[in-house]
Amino acid sequence: MRRASKRALFVQSSKLFGMAAYSLSLVLCIILKAATFGPVPRIVWEQEEIPLTRFNVEGVFNYSSLLLSENEDILYVGAREVIFAVKSTNIAEKTREAYWKVTDEKSEGCARKGKSKQTECFNFIRVLQPLSEDTLYVCGTYAFQPTCDHLDLNSFQLLGKHEDGKGRCPFDPAHSYTSVMVDGELYSATSNNFLGSEPIIFRHSQQSQLRTEYAVPWLNEPNFVFADVIRAPQNNPDGDDDKIYFFFTEVSVEFDFLSKLLIPRVARVCKGDQGGQRTLQKKWTSFLKAKLICHSPENNFFFNVINDVFILKSPDLKEPVIYGVFTSHLNNVGLSAVCTYNVSAVENVFATGKYMQSATVEQSHTKWVRYNGEVPKPRPGACINNEVRALNYTGSLNLPDKTLQFVKDHPLIEDSVYPIGQKPKLMIRNVAFTQIVVDRVTALDGVTYDVMFLSTDQGKLHKAVNHDSEMRIIEEIVLFPNMEPVQTLVLTTKQRKRYIYAGSSTGVVQSPVAFCDQFTSCVECIMTRDPYCAWNSLQSSCVNIVDEKSSGRPLIQALNGDISRCPDSVAQGTEKTMVYTLKPGSMVELNCIHKSELASLVWTFNNKELSDNNPRYRLLHKGILLFNVSEVDTGTYQCLFQENVMGNMISWLIISYIVELERIPPPLLSTTRWSLTEGNLAPTQVYTEVTHRTTTRMPSTTPFKTSAAPIKNVTSKLLTTLSTATLTELIDALQEFGVEKTSFLKSTSDCSLFIFPIIILLVLFLLLLTYNCYKGFLPGPCLKFRSAMFSGKKVPPSFADCEQGVNEILVKNPNLHTEPTTAPRDTDDVTKPDYGNGNLHHKEDLEKVDMIEKDKPFDVKCELKYADSDGD
């Protein structure tokens, strides 16, 4: 009796709070929908699906420096205590190696200074730059004693120079660093002391060394990410100098903030700088810095941390374009963005912007404000160009002290560098971009596309392209399956075949820039809308147009997704037809596998579209599940793929299934028994036998693995069954409250995965709450509720009342619990799942049960209980 009432209450409470669960799920759905932000990668390539080449050597870690020599087809890899040379066309092929280990004595000394012998006191290679035709300049942390050397490429041996590497390489492997070799001089930005407290931007050459002033206005706790040279145009009328740009995030001096406010910066120095004669001796006379703005005006997101930069230089570009990847420590944590800048915009800020200066307010506190006074001539921080030369200043050494003193005190420009288009090119949530490289590819329509490759802190690579002002992520590539951050990205540009190389703590990965050959049909090839890929209708293959440069081939490319350009035979002939011969009453899942995360499936049954879910079937993300197959379910099921391309819905057929029934009834059919244990509905036994045969019109050329999975005793399928059944159960309960089943399914279809466990937990919690309330364990409002509930009734309704009603039905309908088909049944099996199973006769019976129940005082779903009571 007690158990019975408890169960009655479970059913009751699940109905009472069905509405609550429904509302909660809607709210959660809205939150989750709002959370999806920015473009979604259309295709996700898992590592086993695509040909990636890997390089790592046992016992070697921290593959943090990559240097590509495209003339020699060699990739140099700087790891911990070793430098490798591998073939750039196949990095798995190692050609040379040079170990550079710290001595035991140095390692001991490092440990004595409190550093870890296991993780830090090694020689982490941080600088790997070409010095001459046959020499590399190499620096390593060398157990907290940065050291540089020359690597002879003929012998692949270090020359044992053992130069002091201070200013070029950090002491601590955890500290930031960047460097660039320009005309035999190394420009580096890193920390200059053991503690990492002294930041420096440094130039090293045999003749001279130049550095930043060690002062807060120059560099304030910077995190350096990138450096590169921007050459002045040849024979430029201004006689301008080449410039080296540095990108970093630092603590701002110009904003008063409660905590340290980080800010992204660009700084530049001139190649011809020689330092000052008296003021700024051996220091930069041309160091200026400004803030980079990466801000989305629409939602007021500020991106204040710059993670990496790539400067796209191409002869066909009017000027180089700076690509920066940003994240945020402000209001929008979890978002990443890409902002692009014109180099001319940066130069303009340095050439004409207002300087900032510090003013002392209230004794010790300093505040940075715009400098409005007179600016000395020549302009402080400017490179030596024809205008300065006309004033008889031929180099930085003879610049006037006034100019030098001014730039020493005012290295910060007030004006900001704004991005092209005044907003990010790309914003995305829940992804932290770590590195960026950009490739240019001219598609068959003659338009040149800039393709961004963005690596993440989870070992992935996103490939994004802007097409008709719509930013798309064509694909996501899983580079490192163990989700480690990608630390370095390098792109080939001159090689015939283009590759991306990515370095991480555990190894290096080589990836092609496109995976065109993964698409085996014209439609798939076109729909990927990848500027690298085109369909070769002669060879019937999807090819990379960059890799195979030869004209006159019949190539089809339509970046607008116009699949009508595909030859008819190919477009129509790729779909498969499979024939399924099933036993009556069995359940089957018809799969429709597609790679696109943006596509939706449309199912037709005998040429009529199947909309929404039905007790007889359930539409899945990549298939359809048919329950209790009977004669009415036989026929042709077709799966169509639909994807929105720039406002046009493009659809095509992927696979057809012909479902037919087996003529002779087999001895054992689908029998599912449900038992209610601890408030959870679980099948105790699912036993279905299905036979199927497949006919394929175009064998082995289907776009992707297309398969149908007949349900056997497979756990995963049981789970599908369970979730379907229990969800249907819940929806039935909700329906009694007038909640539209279809709307519920629609709204949950996207988020049901998230909602389902929440609903289960909620129901369990409510069960507990209600039971305790019913038992009077909970005080106050609960007791009121309890008395209100039962005040109208002398006797609390019990399971027995309900059971009685059911018994009546059982007498009236002796067929109710027997299998309606002619098949013999297992005697033990007296129950069936009470949700729709496609059997009309059976359903009518259940409706009768429902009708009678509704007259019952407690209005409980008895069929649920008797189904369960059988298990006692």
Ligand X SMILES: *[C@@H]1O[C@H](CO)[C@@H](O)[C@H](O)[C@H]1NC(C)=O
Name which of 22 and 122 has its Cβ closer to ligand X. Answer: 122
Residue 691's SS3 state is: strand
Give min distance, CB of 506 to ligand X, in A: 5
Give min distance, CB of 454 to ligand X, in A: 21
Give min distance, CB of 80 to ligand X, in A: 6
Name which of 342 and 642 has its Cβ closer to ligand X. Answer: 342
Parallel, antiparallel, or unpaired for β 460-467 and 448-456?
Answer: antiparallel
Half-sphere exposure of 394 (CA within 13 A, CB side): 0
Give min distance, CB of 393 to ligand X, in A: 9
Name which of 20 and 174 has its Cβ closer to ligand X. Answer: 174
Long-range contacts of range 204-208, CB-CB < 8 Å, 24 or more positions apart? 204/167, 204/168, 208/274, 208/275, 208/282
Name which of 64 and 518 has its Cβ closer to ligand X. Answer: 64
Give Cα 556 to chain centroid, integer Å: 30
Name which of 79 and 151 has its Cβ closer to ligand X. Answer: 79
Give min distance, CB of 173 to ligand X, in A: 4
Name which of 342 and 541 has its Cβ closer to ligand X. Answer: 342
CA–CA distance, 523 with 503 (Å, rounded to integer): 34
Give Cα 560 to chain centroid, integer Å: 24
Give min distance, CB of 490 to ligand X, in A: 18
DSSP state of 380: T
177 contact partners, CB below 8 Å, separation of at least 6: 126, 127, 169, 170, 188, 189, 190, 224
Give min distance, CB of 341 to ligand X, in A: 7
Tokens in use for 629?
Answer: 């197959």
CA–CA distance, 845 with 816 (Å, rounded to integer): 7
Torsion angles phi and psi, residue 607, rounded to 5: 70, 10
Q: How far is CA 82 from CA 76, 146, 181, 470, in A?
A: 11, 15, 21, 44
CA–CA distance, 93 with 96 (Å, rounded to integer): 10
Give min distance, CB of 487 to ligand X, in A: 7
Please choose, from the candidates 176, 168, 118, 178, the residue with its C-alpha nearest in 3D space to the C-alpha of residue 147.
168
Name which of 342 and 358 has its Cβ closer to ligand X. Answer: 342
Name which of 92 and 420 has its Cβ closer to ligand X. Answer: 420
CA–CA distance, 686 with 678 (Å, rounded to integer): 20
Torsion angles phi and psi, residue 803, rounded to 5: -60, -35
Name which of 488 and 634 has its Cβ closer to ligand X. Answer: 488
Tokens in use for 580?
Answer: 């399924």
Give min distance, CB of 392 to ligand X, in A: 4
CA–CA distance, 764 with 766 (Å, rounded to integer): 5
Half-sphere exposure of 690 (CA within 13 A, CB side): 27
Name which of 185 and 308 has its Cβ closer to ligand X. Answer: 308
Give min distance, CB of 422 to ligand X, in A: 7
DSSP state of 3: H
Name which of 458 and 505 has its Cβ closer to ligand X. Answer: 505
Name which of 62 and 510 has its Cβ closer to ligand X. Answer: 62
CA–CA distance, 244 with 251 (Å, rounded to integer): 22
Element of type H or E holding 132:
strand 125-132
Give min distance, CB of 678 to ligand X, in A: 44
Torsion angles phi and psi, residue 257, rounded to 5: -140, 155
Residues that bind ligand X (CB under 6 A): 61-62, 173-174, 318, 342, 345, 391-392, 418, 420, 505-506
Give min distance, CB of 293 to ligand X, in A: 10
514 contact partners, CB below 8 Å, separation of at least 6: 463, 530, 532, 533, 544, 546
Name which of 292 and 846 has its Cβ closer to ligand X. Answer: 292
DSSP state of 355: B
Give min distance, CB of 348 to ligand X, in A: 8
Helices 2-16 and 715-735, interaxial angle, to 10°?
Answer: 70
Residue 247's SS3 state is: strand
